[in-house]
Amino acid sequence: MLSEGLGLMAAGMGMVFAFLILLVLVMKASAKLFSHFPGSPDKITAKHCAETGNASHRKPHRKPELEEIAAAIAAAKARMTD
């Protein structure tokens, strides 16, 4: 009975692992597929950098400023206390 349980556990873990591998492959394939369409974020960022010549736009994700973080925390605290 214990060996049947271990076999079932191994089969379940194998199925989950296979599903996760399949998920990663599908996500990578869809990223490659959608990057070829016009208006993708990478192309917009690269085009904007080329037009403006500004090196700060080369990073697609900028870190929020400390003031924005502080404002968000203050708004969350105010909402929680009401």
Q: Tens of pLDDT along 54-71?
A: 555 445 555 668 888 888
Structure tokens of 9?
């556990």
pLDDT for the residue 36: 76
Report how far residue 11's alpha carbon sits from residue 6's, in angstroms, rounded to the nearest whole number: 9
User: Domain segments of the chain: what residues?
Assistant: 2-81
Q: What is the pLDDT of residues 5-37, one digit of tens each?
A: 999 999 999 999 999 999 999 999 998 888 777
Q: Is the pLDDT of residue 38 over 80?
A: no
The residue ranking higher by pLDDT, 72 or 38, is: 72
Q: What is the DSSP letter of 48?
A: H
What does the alpha-carbon distance between residue 62 and residue 42 come to, in Å, rounded to a whole number? Answer: 14
Please say whether the beta carbons of 58 and 45 come within 8 A: yes
Predicted local distance difference test score (pLDDT) of residue 68: 85
